[in-house]
A and B are shown apart, each in its own frame.
Chain A
Amino acid sequence: MTKLNELTVKESIEGLKAQAFTSVELVQACLAEIARLDGYIKAYIKVLAEEALAAAQAADEQIRADPEIFNQKPLLGIPYACKDNYSTKGIETTAAANILRGYIPPYESTVTEKLKTAGAILLGKTNLDAFAHGVSTDASDFFVTRNPWDLSKVPGGSSGGSAAAVASHMCTFAMGSDTGGSIRCPASWCGITGLKPMYGRVSRYGLISMASSTDCPGPLTKTAWDAHYVLQVIAGKDSKDATSSNGDVKALTNSVAGLRIGVPKSYFAVDFETPAIKQTILDALKTFEKAGATLVNVDLLPPKYAVAVYTVIQRSEVSSNLARFDGIRFGQSRNAFGYEARRRMMLGAYTLSAGYYDEYYTKAQKVRTLIVEGFKKAFSAADIIVGPTMPNLPVPIGMLDSSPIFGELTDMMQLPGSMAGLPVVSIPCGFVSGFPIGMQLIGPHFGEAGILSAAKVFQDTTNFHLQMPSGIKELT
C-alpha cells in the first residue's frame, strides 16, 4: 500500500475529502519520513513539527464540519516544504546564508500567505545555495543536501532542499524559486516535476531577491497536475509586486493531438555528458508524436549567448540587491557574506561601474531582446518548445568551484527561458545510469496550461515520474 507521504496533492485531497485519512495522519507520515531520512539527505534547515500538527488538527476539524470546504480552501490539510528564501512571519528565514542567521521576518511573503489562506500546512524550511546562488545546494552556508537517488551526488540547485524533500516523499509538495534554472535543475536531477511560471505570474513579494528581473517563485511537485493545481493558488496580480501580472491560469486539457512541438536544433547541439541523455529526450519526443503531436523545427540562438547575458544581468542585479544587507536594520555585518555572494557582487559591481556599463550591461540587455524576439518567432510556428533540462547527470558533491561560471554552464539549457521570462516545466522522461533525466517544456507568456497539459499527457502515458529512489528505501 502507498504510504500517505508518498501521495500526490491530488490523491491527498481526494483522500481527505472522502475522509479516508486525516490531515494529522498525512503530516505524521511526512514527519516520520523526515525522522527516518533527513539525517542522510539533509533537505530541511528547520522542521516545524508542532506547528504543522496543530494546523493539521485544525484542518481536520474544518473538514469534519464542512466537507465542501475545499471549494474555499483548495489545499486544506496538505503539508508542504518551503525553500528558506521565502519570508515567513515569525519563523527564522535565512536563505541558507550566514549573514541572515537569526533573522525573523516581521512580514509574510505573498506566496506563503496565499498557501496559508488556501489551507496548506508549512512543514518546514528547506536548504538552498546561499541566497539561491548556485546549481547544487553545495553552496549553502550551512550544510550540503544530498541527492535521494545517490547520496554522494548533489540534488541540483538552488532549490535542492525542496526537490530532495519531494523526491524522497518528506512532503507532499514544495515551493522553490527559479532565477536561471533553480527549480528546473533540481527537479530534473531529483526526478520530479518543477514549474518555473512565467515571470510576473506569481508575486515575488517576500521572496529574498536574487536577480529581480528573472526571479520566479514556483512549485516542485510529484506530477504536472499538482503543479497546475498549486499554480492556481499562488498566481495573480499583487499590489506589493509591481512586476506581477493578472491573467487566468487556464484549465488543463487531456490531449496533445494537433499540438505543434518546436524542437530547437541548437538545444540538441550542446555538449552532453553522454549521448544517452540526448537520446532520452528524442525518445520522449516520439512519445508525444505517438500521442498525436507534430514536431516542427524552430531556430533559437544557441544557449551560450543566454549564458553570457545571464552572467552579466544576474551578477549586476545581485550586486544591487545585496546592497540592502547592511547589518544595521537586520542580519549580520557584510563580512558574513560567503564566497559565492562575494564573487557575484564583485563582478556585478564591475559590469555596472562607470566606463563598463554600456560594454557589458547594456550589451547584455540588447542580446536579451534578441533572445525574446527569437522565442516570439518560434512561437508563431510552434505551440510549445521542448528540449533537455540538463546536459549532464548529477555531479559529485564538492565540484562547485571547477569553473567561474560552473552554474551557468550547468544551467545553460534553462537560461534562454529565464531571460525571456517564459513559463517552463521540467518533468522526468527517462533514466540514464540510474539517474532521472529531465525534459523541459517551454511555453509562450501566460502559457502554463499548455506546457502542463502536454506534461500531464506525457505522465498519463509513461511512468518515469512514479519511480522512487531505491537506495534510500532501506535506510533507518
Chain B
Amino acid sequence: MPSHKKMSAEEIVHIAGLVKLQLTPQEVDKFSELIPQTLATIDVLQELDTIGVEPTSNVAGLADVYRDGTQSTTLSQAEALANAPDRLKGLIATKGVFDRS
C-alpha cells in the first residue's frame, strides 16, 4: 500500500516539470498536501482483487481501426497559421530547442 504523507517541494516541482507547469511557491505548498490527499481516496482500488484481470482501455471493444487510404483536404497554410501568436516567413515560430551557449 502506498503511503500518503506530504510530498516534498522537490517532488512537486519535478511533477510540474513533467507537464511543463511553472508553479508559484503557494501552489507548490498546496499541491504537496493535495496530491497525497487525492491519492488516499484512490486507495479503495486496492480492496479489489484484480489478479488475472485484463486492463480496459477501449470500452467499445474496438481494435486495429484503419481509415481508407484516400486523399482528403487538410488545413491550408493560412488556416494553420491563423492562430499562431508568433510567425516567421510563413511558418510557426517556436522557442529554440537547443541552447547555443
* Chain A residues at the B interface, C-beta cutoff of 8 Å: 103-104, 106-107, 198-200, 213-214, 239, 242-243, 245, 301, 304-305, 307-309, 311-312, 319, 322-323, 326-332, 334-335, 337, 339, 342-343, 345-350, 353, 359-360, 362-370, 372, 404-405, 408, 419-421, 445
Contacts and interface: CB of A to CB of B under 8 A. Distances in A.
Given A328-B92, A370-B53, A308 B2 contact: no
Contact of A368 (B12, B55, B75, B80): B55
A309 B94 CA distance: 37
10 contacts: A200-B60, A239-B67, A308-B44, A328-B94, A345-B19, A345-B21, A346-B19, A350-B15, A367-B48, A369-B55
A326 B95 CA distance: 11
A198 B75 CA distance: 30
Interface residues of B, number: 49
Contacts of B43: 308
Contacts of B75: 106-107
Nearest to B61: A445
Given A353-B18, A365-B57, A405 B79 contact: no
Given A346-B21, A421-B60, A106 B67 contact: no
Interface of B: 2, 12, 15-16, 18-23, 27, 31, 34-35, 37-39, 41-48, 50, 53-60, 62, 65, 67-68, 75, 79-80, 82-86, 92, 94-95
A102 to B, nearest CB: 8
Nearest to B83: A330
A311 B45 CA distance: 11
B15 A353 contact: yes
Contacts of B56: 365-366, 368-369, 372
A146 to B, nearest CB: 28
A367 B45 contact: yes
Contacts of A301: 48
B2 A359 contact: yes
Given A106-B83, A335-B22, A350-B15, 20 more contacts: A106-B75, A107-B79, A213-B57, A242-B65, A304-B44, A307-B44, A319-B19, A328-B85, A328-B94, A328-B95, A342-B23, A347-B38, A350-B39, A353-B18, A363-B46, A366-B54, A366-B56, A369-B53, A369-B56, A420-B59
Top 3 A-B residue pairs of the complex, sorted by shortest distance between their CB atoms = A421-B59, A365-B55, A330-B83
B42 A327 contact: no
A307 B41 contact: yes
Contacts of B37: 404
Contacts of B68: 239
A363 B48 CA distance: 10
Contact of A104 (B2, B55, B67, B83): B83
A445 B95 CA distance: 46
A107 B74 CA distance: 9
A304 B53 CA distance: 19
Given A319-B19, A367-B48, A346 B41 contact: no
A311 B21 contact: no
Nearest to A330: B83
A368 B58 CA distance: 10
A320 to B, nearest CB: 9
Contacts of A242: 62, 65, 67
B93 to A, nearest CB: 8
A337 B38 contact: no
A346 B35 contact: yes
A303 to B, nearest CB: 11
Contacts of A359: 2
Contacts of A199: 59-60
Contact of A245 (B18, B62, B82, B92): B62
Contact of B86 (A304, A328, A372, A404): A328
A368 B22 CA distance: 33
A206 B58 CA distance: 20
B15 A329 contact: no
A349 B85 contact: no
B80 A106 contact: yes
B40 to A, nearest CB: 9
A343 B29 CA distance: 12
B35 A347 contact: yes
Contacts of B50: 363, 366-367, 369-370
Contacts of B57: 213, 365
A103 B41 contact: no
Contacts of A326: 20
Given A305-B48, A350-B35, A328 B84 contact: yes
A38 B31 CA distance: 36
A404 B34 contact: yes
The CB with the most chain B CB atoms within 10 A, among A245, A332, A350, is that of: A350
B41 A104 contact: no
A202 to B, nearest CB: 12
A362 B62 contact: no
Contacts of B45: 305, 308-309, 312, 363-364, 367
A243 B65 contact: yes
A332 B83 CA distance: 10
A353 B60 CA distance: 27
A308 B60 contact: no
Contacts of B94: 328
